[in-house]
Amino acid sequence: MFHNNGLDSIPGDAGREDITKQPVDKGRFRVVTLRNIALTAPYMHDGSLPTLESVIALYDRGGVARPSRDVHIHPLQLSTQERDDLIAFLQALTGDAARDTAPIIPTR
């Protein structure tokens, strides 16, 4: 699936629109798998978020408030414990075999 989290302000980086040529797809990027997510920093299509904590903080705020932001992205209002639990869960999705492979580069 492709979604726009509001991080679509980079000139020349139209996301899915580059492929479909449909304006509605501007800023939409593929949602990547969570498997081995702890090994694939930096995060986001542009590498702008260095840690899982920064990704969770972004989504906890509801992404970036822009008219183009997907309607499914909204503030989460997580507690500190919920953020910590989410980090632990995401780290638990890492397998030992994956530690010897190159990071997965998300595609549009």
Q: Where are the domains of the chain?
A: 2-100
Q: What is the pLDDT of residues 24-54, one digit of tens each?
A: 888 888 888 899 999 999 998 788 899 999 9
59: left (phi over 0), alpha (psi -120 to 50) or beta: alpha
Distance from C-alpha of 100 to C-alpha of 79, rounded to nearest angstrom? 34
- Confidence class of residue 6 from pLDDT cuts 50, 70 and 90? confident
Q: Which pTM does this prediction carry?
A: 0.74
Distance CA 41, CA 103 (A): 8
2: enclosing H helix or E strand: strand 2-3
Confidence class for position 87, pLDDT limits 50, 70, 90: very high
Residues 6+ apart with CB under 8 A from 68: 4, 6, 8, 26, 27
Kindly tell me if the per-residue pLDDT of 108 is higher than 60.
no
Token pair for residue 85?
């639990």
Is 3.40.50.11540 the CATH number for 2-100?
Answer: no
